[in-house]
Amino acid sequence: AYVLNEVFDYTAKVGRQDLYFQYRHNSPNYRRIDPSPNNIIDLYLLTKQYSTDYTAWIQDTTGVVAEPTAPTVDALSTEFSTLENYKNLTDTIIYNPAKFKPIFGAKAPTSLQATFKVVKNASIIVSDNDVKTRVIDAINSYFDVANWDFGETFYFSELSAYLHSVLAPNIASITIVPSSESSTFGSLLQINANYNEIIVSAATVDNVQIISAITAAQINQTVLA
């Protein structure tokens, strides 16, 4: 049995009044949120077909290959629907298409376009065109999508070391100079990517220049008197 005891030594105070509270939560149109799950899992997916098509477009110099369209959220949800069998009941999966970030070539944003300036080894007889082709082939190998992850940062020092290793003994030196007049030498020595981006090279042989020596003029630097 329960016994109720009346209490008389309590106090009551009037709190804040006439408060207006408004809660807004807006979700992007491409996201469908189920309010019941506790965990939302964002997956960023790069399909093999989109990767192949994008590589073909970024390396095309004829203008014949059209830029591919990234798969939609609905298409990814359908293609990878089996993943739903492995998630917890309290989870919901959001399928996001990967995004490429082209650098160096004409298909890259203006601020990220650049010229590779190469000094050949004077003791080796090799044509300029041969060196240019080998440089681009090596750069494309370096930026193979299998070597990169989402949000990974590009460092020219690492690319330079790779090019010297692969192209030796044909080249003596190589540097990178921004194509934009508003950019300064060194601005492209490090390029960051967003969490959903994968860096890829858009460079062609037109972005490779053979020079006799690396001077202030060659790297667009003003020589002070």
Token pair of 131 as six digits: 């060196």
Instruction: Using the structure block, give the residue that is written with the tokens 């003029």.
Output: 217
Residue 112 pLDDT exceeds 60: yes
**Which band of pLDDT confidence, cut at 50, 70 and 90, is reported for residue 33?**
low
CB distance 209 to 141 below 8 Å: no
Phi/psi at 118 (5° precision):
-115, 135
What predicted TM-score, i.e. pTM, was given to this entire model? Answer: 0.75
200-211 pLDDT, tens digit per residue, is: 999 999 999 999
Q: Which of 206, 200, 195 is nearest to 53 (CA)?
A: 200
Report the C-alpha gap between 146 and 73 in whole angstroms. 23
**Which band of pLDDT confidence, cut at 50, 70 and 90, is reported for residue 189?**
very high
65-106 pLDDT, tens digit per residue, is: 999 999 999 999 999 999 888 887 678 888 999 999 999 999
- Non-local CB neighbours of 86 within 8 Å, separated by 6+ positions: none
- Measured in whole angstroms, the distance separating CA 58 from the mean position of its chain's CA atoms is 14
Average pLDDT over residues 165-175: 94
